[in-house]
Structure 1
Amino acid sequence: MRIGIDVLALGELDRLHTRPWFRRFVYTADELALAESFGEGRTREFLAGRFAAKEAVLKVLGTGCGSGLTPRQIRVVRDGRSAPQVRLTGPAARRAAEIGVSGLTVSIAHKGEYVVAVALGHRHEDRADDPAAAGDAVTRLAGAALEEIAKRESAYDQRPE
């Protein structure tokens, strides 16, 4: 099993999201269409969550944005219950096969101005495990990361100047 995590403040992407080239580089047409169906605040949160999920998956793949991989090759779609599901295309799919990753579980969590995404890359031998349990574990890890961020931010805010 391989793990990737990404945390960002929502405002980190605000300027980049105004640039059409960035949106085309990171998101698929389906992801952008779904995002545009929301109100402005929810669109911002949704796209930040998708970006964090793609970054977490790139970490699972062990490349980051490099070696011919781009975030757009990682589609984050919704399952029947609106939970995020990952679909890899092109070089991202080939990289997953190279390292033996046969499936991905991802969780995206939002808290205030922060978003965290955790991705687990499953190998064939991991598939015997309960997929629902893997999803629950990813969700707990994402929640714990957000709680730690909130705790540290609170401690930072309470420091004397």
Structure 2
Amino acid sequence: MRIGVDVLALGELDRLNTREWFRRHTYADEELGYAATLSPSREREFLAGRFAAKEAVVKALGTGFGGGIRPAQVCVARDDRSAPVVRLSGAAARHAQELGLAAITVSIAHKGACVVAVALAEDRGGSAAATGHQAEQIATTAVRNITRLRTGMGNARNGNA
């Protein structure tokens, strides 16, 4: 099993997401199509979550974005229950196949101005159900820890730590 985690400030991509070239380079058509149905604030949150998930996935692949892997090749779609589902294409799919990965599960969590995503890449012969549960637990713990850290940082700035 391989793991990737990414944390993003909600507004970190605001300027870039206004640029069409960035949106086309970064998001799959399916992601952009769904985002277009949302209110502006929900679209912002949705795209930030998808970007964090893409980063977590390529970290689980051990590549980052490079070596021919583009963000749009990591599509974080939705299943019939609205849970995130990873669909790889192009160089991302080839690399996952070379690594012998059967599936990649992601969990995305939002808390205030933070977005965290965890990706677990399952080797062939692993359990997808266990992997999904583990990803959710890791994301929940990460958000809780980030929130505590941010609160502590605020207290330290105010002289209350």
TM-score (ref. length: structure 2): 0.95
Structure 2 unaligned regions, length at least 5: none
Report the alpha carbon displacement of residue 132 of structure 1 after superposing the two structures with TM: 2.3
**Who is 1:69 aligned against?**
69
Distance 1:77 1:125 in 2: 24
**Who is 1:49 aligned against?**
49
Distance 2:2 2:75 in 1: 19
Residues 1-161 of structure 1 mapped to structure 2, 5 A cutoff: 1-126=1-126, 129=127, 131-159=128-156, 160=159
Distance 1:9 1:42 in 2: 15
1:63-102 deviation line (CA, Å, top 9, x unaligned): 1110000110011111111000001101100000111111
What is the alpha-carbon root mean square deviation over aligned residues?
1.1
Distance 2:154 2:49 in 1: 25
Distance 2:130 2:68 in 1: 33
> What is the DSSP-based 3-state SS (H/G/I as helix, E as strand, rest coil) of the residue aligned with 2:93?
helix
Runs of 4+ in structure 1 displaced over 3 angstroms? none
Distance 2:130 2:101 in 1: 18
1:37-83 deviation line (CA, Å, top 9, x unaligned): 01010000000000011100110111111000011001111111100
Please say if residues 10 and 115 of structure 2, whose CA atoms lie closer than 8 Å, have aligned partners that are also in contact: yes
TM-score (ref. length: structure 1): 0.95
Distance 2:60 2:134 in 1: 16
Q: Kindly, what percent of the aligned residue pairs are identical?
A: 54
